[in-house]
Each structure stands twice: as structure tokens, then as C-alpha cells.
Amino acid sequence: MSAAILRAEHMFKEFGATKAVTDVTIELHKGTVLGLVGENGSGKSTLSSMIAGVYPPTKGAMFFNGQEFKPASVLDARKAGIQYLTQEQGTIDRMTVAENLFLGEEDSFGRFGMVNMRRLIIRAKEILEENGLSHVDPTQPIDNYSFEDRKMIETARALSKQPVVLMIDETTTALSKDGTERIYEIIEQQKKKGTAILIISHDLSEVQCLCDEVMVLRDGVFVDLLCGDEVTPENMRRKMIGREFEGSYYRADFECTFDDEIVLSVRELSLDGVFRDVNFDLHKGEILGIGGLSDCGMHEVLKTTFGAIKPSRGSVILTDGNIEINNTTTSVQRKIAYIPKDRDKESLFLPTSIRDNIVAASLDKIKKGIFISPFAERQIANEEAKKMDVKMQDISQMVRDLSGGNKQKVVLAKWLANDSRIFIMDCPTRGIDVGVKAKIYRLMEDFKRQGISILMVSEEMMELIGMADRILTMKNGQQTGEFLRSASLCEADIIQMII
Ligand SMILES: Nc1ncnc2c1ncn2[C@@H]1O[C@H](COP(=O)(O)OP(=O)(O)OP(=O)(O)O)[C@@H](O)[C@H]1O
Ligand SMILES: [Mg+2]
């Protein structure tokens, strides 16, 4: 193998008492795809962030093209040719698409501090078109676009100038099948062009397909570098958790098991331009899945069912008390939980503590008269954080400082604290490591046994087949079919109904 284009040696990163990365040395080579795997909170994003100039290492040195490399900022690293697609949203709200595309490079579109907006917009249009985003208007605020579009705009930005190093952090799990395939194409093209690529992913079969080598981290420490035939999901899993992975992943039964009792009834639900005439009943103790492509309207069906979007027509009725759900206050009071796909934006208060986030939906429980009991608050937060195995210093830590997967665990903990009876879950295991994923599946089974109902959207067909009692399929905003749980159900059956 050729000499490394980028070498980060003996890297350390500490955040207060947290040792996020300890003495890790990593090398990226031209035209080579290196995978980086490890459990939630094992230091993957921290390591890649240091290379991308997000923050400096506590200790360690980086060499890029044989020269010592100390990026002062993300822009600095970008200018050197290091592009980083972050795990969460990497674009900036309230700025236009064009501004996001050229952040820090406006100078190249003008002279004497005057930016030639016309040239900037023309170039933005070109970049968007080259990346299959011709429906995006560069003059619009970026907030007007979906999570997926924003990720693809971020990707377009990363590729607008040929990168030398491209790092992709847990991106495909946030994307639809189309978006994921586009990323795979990009990886292949970039590899041919000699770009050094780093991929962080919890989808171990994806890692196996894409990567030439895989580095495994555990608790911020280097465990192993796997090459060639050693790169198998089993091997990675074992190295990640330090022991054999035991037990089944999905539900072991193939029965369609739930009560006849209907808990939630959705009738003729329509949102103009997005979905129409959606009808279904959710039963007590049922896991009802909805499958489709990302833009088929299923995410919006969940949001509308929770009362976060006003439908154009139709109704969502909670059978107990015959209550219409048309706002989120009612749904939270009535013990309906919602786990959105974009947790950073819709479900967590990032600048506050883990404790505050966990108790946010359970104020009734922690109130003593008009006062909030700090003791009850701490107790509930500690209990639920422990149930979900949140990797943290303590419950007073800021949520924004948690790793991606651990943020997701806090969202789940919040709704567990609220004793929710209906869980609406949008891609519940996005960005979650294998161990915790299995834990969430066990939790879902547990819910079922307690008579709690789950309405779940997932872009992973295996997850739907593995967990749901019934699966509804959607295409272009309309329901197209229904499948009952069975041992013979396979991915192809469902895919046929959604594309
Ligand atoms: N800005 C920060 N302040 C304090 N602690 C942090 C900060 N960023 C990360 N950490 C901590 O460092 C550790 C490693 O986090 P990191 O985000 O690198 O994990 P990860 O491997 O990317 O996990 P995931 O798979 O969940 O994304 C975690 O314990 C996390 O809470
Ligand atoms: Mg991460």
C-alpha cells in the first residue's frame, strides 16, 4: 500500500472527565476505503471531527501530504481538501441553500468584499443539478427542505471541489434507498479518483461491502484493524463488544399477535400534496409497521397521527374516550409518544441536560402541587437513563455533548418516563449500534406484552419484517397493501409494493 495521505498519530481527546479518544493512530490512503466501527459513544465521531478541524486533539499530531496538519477550523480543513459529512444535520438553519453551499468561500464570487450574488446562484444551480437536486431552489432558506434533501445538499457541497479526503459519518441510515444508493455511487466514483475515504456506520453489512479495511474502536481505544477476508459482520461485532454476540436480534415468533381492541383509529387522513386517504386501526399490543420509500409520505403520516401536522382532511381518534388527536398537547397528555427521525430538531432540547430532556414529557409526575420536586426529577431521569444504558457522565450532562446513538436513547428514555401507551416511532434504530438495537427490539417486545401499541415507520425492510405484526405499504402518498406477520414474508414481497 502507498504511503498514507493522512496520518493522525497518538490522538487523544478528553471532554472534562470523559476520555472520548485515547491514543488512537489512524491512516487514510489514496483510493482506499477505511471503515470505522464501534459501539455508540466509542469515539468514532470524535476522531473524525478532529481530522475535520471541528476541534483540536487534546494530544496527538496529524500529517497531511507529509506535512504537519493543524486545521484551525472546519473551513480550514475543507480548504485543504478534507470533507466531512457529519452524523447529524451539517447545514445551517435560516441561511439559503446557496449560502450553505459556499459558506466561507463567498470571496471567490466577487471582489473587494462584494459578492456577486448572480454568479453565486448560477454556480449553486449547477452544483445542485450535477447532484440530482434540480428541484432545489438555491435562493430558498435551507429550512424549507427535508432532512434527506439537506443531507444531499451537504453532500453536493462536499463534492463541489474534488476532495482529497472524504469522511462520511453514519449518513446512509438517515437516507432513503435512493439517497443511500447515491452515496454508494459517490464512494465508488471517489475511490476511482483516488480520494481517501473514511466511512463510519453501524450497518455492518454495508461496511463489509464498501470497505477495504476496518478499524474497530471500543471505549475510545483502538482494538483492531481488520483487512480483506477478516472484514465480516460477525468479526466486527465481536471486536466491538469484546465478546460473542448472543441471542436473537428480531422477534423469534412468527405469529400475528395482538388484542382485538382498537386503541387508535385513523380515517381518510390526507395532507394535500403529501398523502391521501390513509386508513388504519392500531390494536392493543400491536406493532404496526409502515414501509415505503422515504418520500412516499409515511414520515408525514406519523407526524400527523401524533398531531404535529394539521391534516387537510380526515381524523385520528383515540378510542379510549373517543378523543380526536389534533395537537401534540393532547397526544402527550393521552400518553402517546413520538420518536421522530430528526431527533436533534424535533425531539431534544440540545442545550439542556439529560435530566431535563428525560422528564420533559412527565411534568405531571414530578410536580408536588405547584412545585417541581428536584428529587423526583433526578430519580426518574436516573432510572430511565439506566434502563436505556445512556453512556454519559451523569444526568446533568448536556444532551448536545452525547454521541449520536446516545441522543436517540435519551429520546426513548423521555417517553418511557411518561408511561406512554402508544409509541409512534420513526426509524427508531437509526444510528444505533448492534447491542442497543437488540435492546430496543427487546423493549418493543416488552411493550407488546404490556399491551402497549407501536406504530413504526422504518426504511429497513428487515426491521419491519423482523418486528411488525402487520406491515402497511405506501407509495406516492397512497396505501398500496398490507402484509401479516409470517415466516415466509420476504423483502422482495414488500419492495414490490413500494416502488
Ligand atoms: N462536545 C462534547 N462534550 C463532552 N463530551 C462529548 C462531546 N462530544 C462527544 N463527547 C463524548 O465522547 C464520547 C464519544 O462520543 P462520539 O460522539 O465520538 O461517539 P461515537 O462513536 O460517534 O458514537 P455514535 O455511534 O453513538 O455516534 C461519548 O461519551 C460522548 O458523550
Ligand atoms: Mg457518532
Give the domains, in start order, of the chain with CATH numbers: 6-241 (3.40.50.300), 247-335+421-499 (3.40.50.300), 349-418 (no CATH)
* Residues forming beta bridges with residue 215, ordered by sequence position: 36, 225
Q: How far away, in angstroms, is 46 Cα from ligand 1 center?
A: 6
> Which residue type sits at 380?
I
Q: How far away, in angstroms, is 169 Cα from ligand 2 center?
A: 7
Closest ligand by atom to 432 CA = 1
Judged against a pLDDT cut of 70, whether residue 248 lies above it is answered with: no
Q: What is the pLDDT of residue 434?
A: 79
**Residue to mutate, 14, 45, 223, 394, ligand 1, most ligand atoms under 8 Å from C-beta:** 45
Report, as an integer, the average pLDDT of 309-337.
95
Instruction: Enter the pTM of the model.
Output: 0.76
Question: Residue 230 — very low, low, confident or very high, per pLDDT cuts 50/70/90?
Answer: very high
CA atoms within 13 A on the CB side of 162: 7
Q: What is the pLDDT of residue 111?
A: 63
Cα–chain center distance at 352: 20
Query: String of b and e for 113-146 (b: at least 16 CB within 10 Å)?
Result: eeeeeeebbebbbebbeebebeebbbeeebeebe
Question: Residue 113 — very low, low, confident or very high, per pLDDT cuts 50/70/90?
Answer: low
Report, as an integer, the average pLDDT of 352-377.
85
Judged against a pLDDT cut of 60, whether residue 247 lies above it is answered with: no
CB of 403 sitting under 6 A from ligand 1: yes
Report, as an integer, the average pLDDT of 154-169.
94
Judged against a pLDDT cut of 80, whether residue 116 lies above it is answered with: no
CA distance 298 to 213: 36
Judged against a pLDDT cut of 90, whether residue 243 lies above it is answered with: no
Mean of the per-residue pLDDT values for the chain? 91
CA distance 306 to 316: 9
Which phi and psi (to 5°) does residue 418 adopt?
A: -85, 0
Judged against a pLDDT cut of 90, whether residue 271 lies above it is answered with: yes
Q: How far away, in angstroms, is 41 Cα from ligand 2 center?
A: 7
CB of 48 sitting under 6 A from ligand 1: no
CA distance 39 to 24: 16
Instruction: Find, among 440, 430, 419, 444, the residue nearest to 359 by Cα.
Output: 419
CB of 389 sitting under 6 A from ligand 1: no
Report, as an integer, the average pLDDT of 471-497.
94
Q: What is the pLDDT of residue 351?
A: 81
Residue nearest to atom 2 of ligand 1 (CA): 401
Q: What is the pLDDT of residue 179?
A: 86
Q: What is the pLDDT of residue 73?
A: 93
Find cell 394539521 and name the residue: 310
Judged against a pLDDT cut of 80, whether residue 454 lies above it is answered with: yes
Report, as an integer, the average pLDDT of 292-314.
94
Which phi and psi (to 5°) does residue 464 adopt?
A: -65, -50
Q: What is the pLDDT of residue 363?
A: 80
> Which residue type sits at 341?
K
> Which residue type sits at 90?
G
Highest mean pLDDT among 160-174, 175-189, 288-302: 288-302
CB of 13 sitting under 6 A from ligand 1: no
Q: What is the pLDDT of residue 244?
A: 63
Find cell 433526578 and name the residue: 378
Percent of the chain with pLDDT over 70: 97
CA distance 490 to 12: 45
